[in-house]
Amino acid sequence: MDVSSNVENVYQSLTFENALEKLESLVEKLEKGNLTLDESLEVFEEGMKLARVCSNKLSKAESRIEQLIVENGEIRTKPFTEGQFNDGKF
């Protein structure tokens, strides 16, 4: 197993909240503007990896969200669709 695989495994093992917290910290570093170009690129690269982790974790969570519905006295599950509750109704 190479070093990049180990790094990816470490990122994937983070909770969504931990990954987001680290990402926010990196954004703050970049926004301050005190980094060299090379440092900025390293921080940006790490931030992109963390953003990908957050995105993947959100996608997995979204796919698990299901809406329970009752049809003919039976409870069934229906996948959640984005924008489904925009009108305030279930």
The size of the chain, in residues, is 90
Looking at 9-82, which runs of residues are DSSP E strands? Answer: 66-71, 74-79
Band (88; pLDDT cuts 50, 70, 90) = very low
| Closest by Cα among 16, 14, 9, 11 to 49 | 11
In angstroms, the CA 37 to CA 46 distance is 14
pLDDT on residue 50: 96
pLDDT, tens digit (0-9, with 9 covering 90-100), for 27-71: 999 999 999 999 999 999 999 999 999 999 998 887 777 555 556
Task: Check if the beta carbon of residue 57 is closer than 8 Å to that of residue 16.
Answer: yes
**Domains in the chain, ordered, with CATH?**
3-65 (1.10.287)
